[in-house]
Copies of this chain bind each other. A is one copy, B any other.
């Protein structure tokens, strides 16, 4: 690995593993130096709340490690998770800092963040960064709409399978940095049944029952308490009734 620090001025961002995929992907060195200035690395423990609905998110940035959920909650306690942020994903809403969501760290999370205002100033100055952000937000929009189909029209079984497909593609993207485009052999589930239920618009018992049923059918193979193997990915895709778009969006 090349020693990039010899120049003495290259910001640590240049070494970031999300340098090529994250929001900073297209930023030039000038922008990187700017970003570097206000950078703050935040840590959240598993299960901790990052923000409540109505809170002002003073920072925006990239999830480095862990898993963050965005949820909408109703008075009576029903909740619907509307977004999952994996490493490399952008957290925050430019232009409106008050969040309508309950933002939670589902696992030990590291968040590389910048001051909200500083970031927006930079945005106005750096068209490349702005374009990149727009792209990322549009992908989120596509993902949200894709998930709407799952919530509105799929059976519990299909929902679960869609979830596995989503995870497989998503975890794959993370590890794709390396070389192989193959899907991960074992999926490590950091989410509890309840968190999965909230994401899929189901009750916890239904999720549990579908897990059992799918395992019995051999579509999934439990590995320990939180591991999962998909012996026949095609079969899962089929059971999810997904048009295979190669995970492009979701």
User: A residues within 8 Å of B by Cβ?
Assistant: 70, 72, 74-76, 78-80, 82-83, 93-96, 100-101, 124, 127, 130-131, 133-135, 137-138, 140-142, 144-149, 151-153, 200-201, 241, 243, 245, 249
Contacts A241-B76, A243-B75: A201 and B138 contacting too (C-beta < 8 A)? no
- When the two chains form their complex, are residues A134 and B135 in contact, meaning their CB atoms are under 8 A apart? no
Whether A95 contacts B134 by the Cβ 8 Å rule is: yes
Report the copy number of this chain in the oligomer. 2
Q: Which residues of B contact A200 (CB under 8 A)?
A: 152
Cβ contacts A to B, 29 pairs, < 8 Å:
A70-B145, A72-B148, A74-B153, A75-B241, A80-B148, A80-B149, A82-B145, A82-B149, A93-B138, A94-B134, A95-B138, A96-B138, A100-B245, A127-B127, A127-B130, A130-B134, A134-B134, A134-B137, A137-B141, A144-B144, A144-B145, A147-B148, A148-B148, A148-B151, A151-B151, A151-B201, A152-B200, A152-B201, A153-B201
Do residues A133 and B134 form an inter-chain contact, with CB atoms below 8 A?
yes
Determine the chain B residues whose CB is within 8 A of the CB of A70 once the complex forms: 145
CA distance A101 to B141 in the complex (A): 13
A131 to chain B, nearest CB (A): 8
Identify A82's interface contact among B82, B93, B148, B241, CB under 8 A.
Answer: B148
Q: Which residues of B contact A134 (CB under 8 A)?
A: 94-95, 130, 133-134, 137
